[in-house]
Amino acid sequence: MKKLLLTGFGPFHTHESNSTFEVTNLLDGTIIGPFEVTGVILPVVFEEVFPTLKESIEKNSPDVIVLTGMAWGRDEISLERIAINLIDSERKDNNGVQYTETKISENGENAFFSTLPLQKIKSTLDQLDIKVSFSNTAGTYVCNQIMYKCLEFLKSEDQKIPAGFIHLPPDKTLKSESSWDIQDLSKAMEELIKALKY
């Protein structure tokens, strides 16, 4: 059976929880399609997020990596196409650190594209009437940072592991006007994962 590493984040900023924390914990240890899912919660901390992910990759040797984060202003699942070599955070991380116009990797590439089959994912979710769209910006905060660092690391290690970032909307417990509850988001992620079979 193939192994899928699914990551989420814990609470950050003023948010009491995080939809990706809940979804990742719900799916941890489950079997979805051809994948055994291992869920890992990453810290919303610039200096700690990639070391935590790297340790998880080395420990689990996944066949696919799906990173997730919460996009407060969105009400659909966002398939992130690209991560750019920039941190320019409007808010501090959970350790109180803030960066302005700072490169993630000093001598790194300007950007990395997701290596997940995004068109296949979108077609699958569209057929199920699950709200989904492509996104051309993962922001300039920790979400973009970890997508960039993950793809940079896999390239540097010559590991042909499909990887990318998915933004989930907040659920109703966090944002009353949201059209999603945690079960809806979990089911959507299950269908997304099923679409990753090769």
Per-residue pLDDT tens over the stretch 121-158: 999 999 999 999 999 999 999 999 999 999 999 999 99
Catalytic site includes residue 80 = yes
Tokens of residue 189, six digits: 């992620």
Q: Which amino acid is at 165?
A: F
Of all helices (H) and strands (E), which one includes residue 193? helix 182-194
Catalytic residue among 22, 150, 152, 167: 167
Catalytic residue among 80, 150, 152, 191: 80
> By C-alpha distance, which of 165, 76, 81 is closest to 119?
81
Q: Report strand pairing: 163-168 vs 132-135.
A: unpaired
56, burial (CB in 10 Å: exposed 0-12, middle 13-18, buried 19+)? middle
Taking residues 50-62, report their average pLDDT.
98
Catalytic site includes residue 150 = no
Query: Domain limits at 58?
Result: 2-194
Q: Report strand pairing: 64-70 vs 2-9.
A: parallel
CATH number for the domain spanning 82: value is: 3.40.630.20
Q: Which amino acid is at 1?
A: M
Structure confidence at residue 49 (pLDDT): 97
Residue 197 has pLDDT above 80, yes or no: no
Domain count, the chain: 1
| pTM (two decimals) | 0.95
Tokens of residue 142, six digits: 């920790």
d(CA 124, CA 15): 31
Q: How confident is the model at residue 24 (pLDDT cuts 50, 70, 90)?
A: very high
Q: Are 139 and 89 in contact (CB under 8 A)?
A: no
Q: How confident is the model at residue 90 (pLDDT cuts 50, 70, 90)?
A: confident
Encode pLDDT of 64-73 as tens digits.
Answer: 999 999 998 8
**Which residue's structure tokens are 């590493």?**
5
Catalytic residue among 143, 150, 152, 191: 143
